Amino acid sequence: MANHSTEPSSSLSFTSSSHLSNGSYSYRQANKSYSSSGVELGPPGPPPPSANLEVISLNKLSSNLEQLLVDPSCDYSDAVVIVEGTPVGVHRCILAARSKFFLDLFQKQVESLDGKPKYLIDDLLPYGKVGYEAFLVFLNYLYTAKLKPSPVEVSTCVDNVCTHDACRPAIHFAVQLMYASSIFQIPELVSLFQRRLLNFVGKALVEDVIPILVVAFHCQLSQLVTECVDRVARSDLDSISLEKELPHEIAESIKLLRLKYRSDDEHNIEAVDPLREKGIKRIHKALDSDDVELVKLLLTESDITLDEAYALHYAVAYCDPKVVTDVLSLGLANVNLRNHRGYTVLHIAAMRKEPSIIVSLLTKGACALDLASDSQSAVSICRRLTRPKDYHAKTEQGQEANKDRICIDVLEREMRRNPMAGDASVSSQTAADDLHMKLLYLENRGIVLQMCHLHDCYSLLKQS
């Protein structure tokens, strides 16, 4: 009977090992002290010969078992897991021996594919998401007890000045492996990825701490939850983002902690006008229900302006692109407004990576050259959120367009086209013409403009 103790395995645990000093376990390091013939190569002091032999045999076992995964002539798989539409062959005996989750799973009857039981990974995960590459890294660990380095295509971004030590793709990849390790019950990997995620918390942008906090909450990693809650509470991340993006109880605990920090610092108490707050909330609620007519009504009823409510920032972050177009066409909001965190509306649009919204904003004179307080431009924000795999993804005819690529292309062309920062009045007509060209260009490249919102932009352009 397999040992499914919840404690990290003692013989192969690397949570206490020096290999983990920078939070990443190196494949090469594990084998470094021994040549292929099994001769010990380097310091520290020689272990007893029996230990040598054991390490060599375990290494051999590990690479033999890896053959089951990587060698097509060795395909004795007897079940299939579908990940992002791709079937991955697995061996039930190995998965069941390594994981209590799979041991229980394989006792249930399921549909089959080519005579093999078939499992959809999304059905196995009650929350979170594990992509194809992350699942392969996880699976490889189950077979070999060795953790491969994260594939560059999915764990880095396409910003060439980024060191990728805490950008969104790097964090997302570790988050996916945490979901897999926790749900599939591999405790030593949970410890490893908890350390890796903790390492991100101090360095990452606060909005990138949110996915870490969410995985920590679902996987009940109390230390990680505490660290993330503290980081977010000390940040200037607005309470709307907290409410929209975090589980209710976590958002509440962050707000409480903020109150505590503020009362510790008596000089820092902001006067909040509850009536005003209520008025702003009503505008946001109207935007949530796509009701721009109601927004207009609320504006005439109260003395709160669209800009005071950061209505464009809100719509760009959370609403349907059509709502953004409608709010813009009211002509009452400053398209280059900065919120209290120093982000322009276009920066927020870049974070959302929705091409039609970016195009709507540029058409109305949003400046692509404006920098956020951390010196990021809209395009560098976009690049830092985009994985090489998505940026280089080819779009087959009829498929959804490569939105990541369009956002970056549109913003880069806008920056090259308009070196005169912020002088929208001079160039608004040429900007409109140029955007029209841009859309045609994208169309000519075979990118399907199935997004009706882009067509809305066309009609806007024709009107202007």
- Residue 216 Cβ vs Zn ion, minimum distance, rounded to whole Å: 22
Tokens representing residue 129 in the block: 């998401």
How many other C-beta atoms can be found within 10 angstroms of the C-beta atom of residue 111?
8
Closer residue to Zn ion in complex, CB, 179/200: 200
- Residue 374 Cβ vs Zn ion, minimum distance, rounded to whole Å: 14
Candidates 7-15, 58-66, 150-158, 420-428: pick the segment binding Zn ion (CB under 5 A).
150-158
- Residue 168 Cβ vs Zn ion, minimum distance, rounded to whole Å: 8
Site for Zn ion in 24-53 (CB under 5 A): none
Residue whose C-alpha is closest to residue 142's, from 296, 326, 9, 327: 9
Tokens representing residue 292 in the block: 């721009």
Closer residue to Zn ion in complex, CB, 315/381: 381
- Residue 23 Cβ vs Zn ion, minimum distance, rounded to whole Å: 16
Q: What is the DSSP letter of 10?
A: T
Contact (Cβ atoms closer than 8 angstroms) between residue 324 and residue 373: no
Dist CA 123 CA 179 (whole Å): 13
Tokens representing residue 175 in the block: 């988050």
Tokens representing residue 403 in the block: 């939105």
- Residue 162 Cβ vs Zn ion, minimum distance, rounded to whole Å: 3
Q: What is the DSSP letter of 311?
A: H
- Residue 48 Cβ vs Zn ion, minimum distance, rounded to whole Å: 44
Number of residues in contact with Zn ion under rule CB under 5 A: 4
Dist CA 242 CA 288 (whole Å): 16
Closer residue to Zn ion in complex, CB, 182/376: 376
Positive or negative: CA dihedral 104, 110, 116, 120: negative
Q: Is 294 in the site for Zn ion (CB under 5 A)?
A: no
Site for Zn ion in 152-211 (CB under 5 A): 157, 162, 164, 167
x-or-dash pattern for Zn ion, window 335-364, by CB under 5 A?
------------------------------
Contact (Cβ atoms closer than 8 angstroms) between residue 135 and residue 121: yes
Query: Which residue, chain included where needed, has tokens 């066309």?
Result: 458
- Residue 342 Cβ vs Zn ion, minimum distance, rounded to whole Å: 21
- Residue 167 Cβ vs Zn ion, minimum distance, rounded to whole Å: 3
Closer residue to Zn ion in complex, CB, 160/444: 160
Q: Is 408 in the site for Zn ion (CB under 5 A)?
A: no
x-or-dash pattern for Zn ion, window 307-336, by CB under 5 A?
------------------------------
Closer residue to Zn ion in complex, CB, 167/335: 167
- Residue 384 Cβ vs Zn ion, minimum distance, rounded to whole Å: 6
Phi/psi-derived region of residue 35, left when phi > 0, alpha when psi is between -120 and 50, beta in every other case:
beta
Q: Which residues face 88 on adjacent strands?
A: 81
Contact (Cβ atoms closer than 8 angstroms) between residue 34 and residue 41: yes
Contact (Cβ atoms closer than 8 angstroms) between residue 241 and residue 233: no
Question: Going edge to edge, which strands form the sheet with 116-120?
Answer: 86-90, 79-83, 116-120, 112-113
Closer residue to Zn ion in complex, CB, 327/385: 385
Closer residue to Zn ion in complex, CB, 167/432: 167
Closer residue to Zn ion in complex, CB, 157/201: 157
Q: Which residues face 446 on adjacent strands?
A: none
Closer residue to Zn ion in complex, CB, 169/279: 169
**Residues near Zn ion (CB under 5 A):** 157, 162, 164, 167
